[in-house]
Amino acid sequence: MDNLSTTPSTSQTGAAIGERITGSEALLRGLLNEGVECVFGYPGGNVLYIYDAMVGNPDFKHLLTRHEQGAIHAADGYARSTGKVGVCIATSGPGATNLVTGIATAYMDSVPLVIITGNVPTTVMGSDAFQEADIISITMPITKHSYLVRDAKELPRIIHEAFHLAGTGRRGPVLIDIPKDVSNQQISYTPSDLQINLRGYQGVPAPNRDDIIELLQAVEGSERPVLIAGGGVIYSDASAELLEFAEKTQIPVATTLLGLGGFPSSHELWMGMPGMHGTYTANMAIQQADLIISIGSRFDDRITMKLEGFAPQAKKIAHIDIDPAEIGKNIPTDISCVGDIKAVLALANKTARPAQSAGWISDMHSSKRTYPLRYDNDDSGLKPQFVIEMISETTNGEAIITTDVGQHQMWTAQFYQFKHPRSLLTSGGLGTMGFGFPSAMGAQIGNPDRLVVSINGDGGMQMCAQEMAVCAIHQLPVKIVVINNQVLGMVKQWQELIHEQRFSHIELAGSPDFVKLAEAYGIKGLRAATNEEAVRVWQEALDTPGPVLVEFVVPKEEKVYPMVFSGMTLDQMVLGEFQ
């Protein structure tokens, strides 16, 4: 985006041998050398030298958000949508701690980020100085690695290592904490090819051929196999290999929330999403399967539900994953294939043969016809499912969709037909409200020629609504959708179905007029409360250049079905009014 604030320094390519520069200038050059296109951040006292180094630097692009949480979610959205490492920056103390939720979000979903925080000068560290917080200790459980920089001479190496760590193996966030005096320290800078030599950091092992042979033998002997494809398929850019494997082995595919888009939703072998709000066909197939193959999915509890009753008829369970720590962690595994999913599937595809699954596939097609996802599109108001279907049809499934967390997230997973990987950006593991909108900004910057639609609930939208200023100023053409049911919908659904309608603190009374709020930020705002209005205003939003917010007013009584209650097995689904 050319209209972002551009303040690159003397450029990463023109440094003279032995040139004297500050740690801050070394940081910016290091980021540019790593190919960073945009840094998302918010300045403060202990990163002032870093921000000062940006002045007059035409190569360095920085996007000023309105909250540090907006910055890290934007960096996250950039990373998920592009496959590159996202970068954000914040000052010490409250600036750094405001990043914690975003760091945990990225860690849970294996998103590659490099997070740069300022800290108090080394001379006062440990003295409870103004805006001091031990961010290394605070974030240690939710980072892949952390660096506290005590000497600016180490910055070039640390930056290079941080990007390598974040973007290789099982990806994740890496934090670099830079004290203020270190950022102003003068060093002799010499451009050089930095070598990676990280003791104890193992590369991704090559696929074990014997494990793959065992897997393929299990496939050939199976009559009721199921593939569960997760986010790892997308992170490994292995969608093409998965498609080939499914077609060669003739195995039906269920894609997890983070795996949506990793397998074409229009394919005859696709069964939908499994789990708590999964499709009837996917859940019943897992419960009746004689072979389960998890590919880049960690058997999360929202997929397995009651562990003791998961896939009770499976004679064997296989797990393909880049992280050996995930093998057998939640579900006992009979066959394990550790390695990069793209490499594992590419090797498997060379000799893969079909399972004995013709009857099984026929049963699956029959189940999809008998138990489709459905809802009552009656006169009781604009239904959120209708809105998602409309967005899917009008974008032809080609948009990048970001969501917040809650009912609208599940309706999006159910009713938007994803065609491509990296098309759904959502907080899966942590379930972070406030993620959807700022992540869309990062996705739009990383994909300036793509349509980006951010689907939010009225609760989550208010957590980072201030970032509308950024969309307005830079004319980021994100289409902002607010599914407004005037309530914390998913919490209400649980309280109604599980807690015997004992509703407690779920009404979002006093929420703003979202149309007026958008207009206050300089963004066009539209509203719809009927099907006809929805079709009209959504087309107007698509036809309008720049950012637009569309509020869809929907009934608060609408629920997400199917639903599997906690403690139940996947075949104990509540289908709602269609049961």
Chain centroid to Cα 387, Å, comes to 22
What is the C-alpha radius of gyration for the chain, rounded to an integer number of angstroms? 24
Q: Do the Cβ atoms of 143 and 10 come closer than 8 Å?
A: no
Whose CA is closest to 171, among 235, 254, 121, 227? 235
> Which two three-digit tokens encode residue 444?
């739009």
Sign of CA dihedral 262, 265, 271, 277: positive
Give the end-to-end CA distance of the chain in Å, rounded to a whole number.
Answer: 49
Q: How crowded is the C-beta side of 390, counted as CA atoms within 13 Å?
A: 23
Give CA–CA dist 261/421, Å, rounded: 4
Give CA–CA dist 333/214, Å, rounded: 13
Q: Reduced to 3 states, what is the DSSP secondary structure of residue 91?
A: coil
List average pLDDT for each run of 10 residues in the chain, which is 579 residues long.
44 59 97 97 98 95 98 98 98 98 98 98 95 98 98 96 97 98 94 81 91 98 98 98 98 98 97 97 98 97 96 98 96 97 98 98 97 90 97 97 97 97 98 98 98 98 97 98 96 94 94 97 98 98 98 96 96 86
Q: What's the predicted TM-score (pTM) here? A: 0.95
pLDDT of res. 17: 61
Helix (H) or strand (E) holding 178: strand 173-179
> Which two three-digit tokens encode residue 495?
């309280």
Give CA–CA dist 466/261, Å, rounded: 30
Q: Left (φ > 0), alpha (ψ -120 to 50) or beta: where does 500 sit?
A: left
In the DSSP assignment, the letter for residue 465 is G
pLDDT of res. 3: 45
Residues annotated as catalytic are 68, 130-131, 180, 490
pLDDT of res. 283: 98
Give CA–CA dist 205/343, Å, rounded: 10
Q: Do the Cβ atoms of 117 and 177 come closer than 8 Å?
A: yes
Q: Do the Cβ atoms of 521 and 468 come closer than 8 Å?
A: yes
In the DSSP assignment, the letter for residue 117 is E
Give CA–CA dist 29/43, Å, rounded: 19
Q: Do the Cβ atoms of 455 and 439 come closer than 8 Å?
A: no
Do the bridges between strand 335-338 and strand 424-425 make them parallel or antiparallel, or are there none, so unpaired? unpaired
pLDDT of res. 196: 85
Give CA–CA dist 468/450, Å, rounded: 19
Do the bridges between strand 452-457 and strand 400-403 make them parallel or antiparallel, or are there none, so unpaired? parallel
Q: Do the Cβ atoms of 180 and 149 come closer than 8 Å?
A: no
pLDDT of res. 527: 98
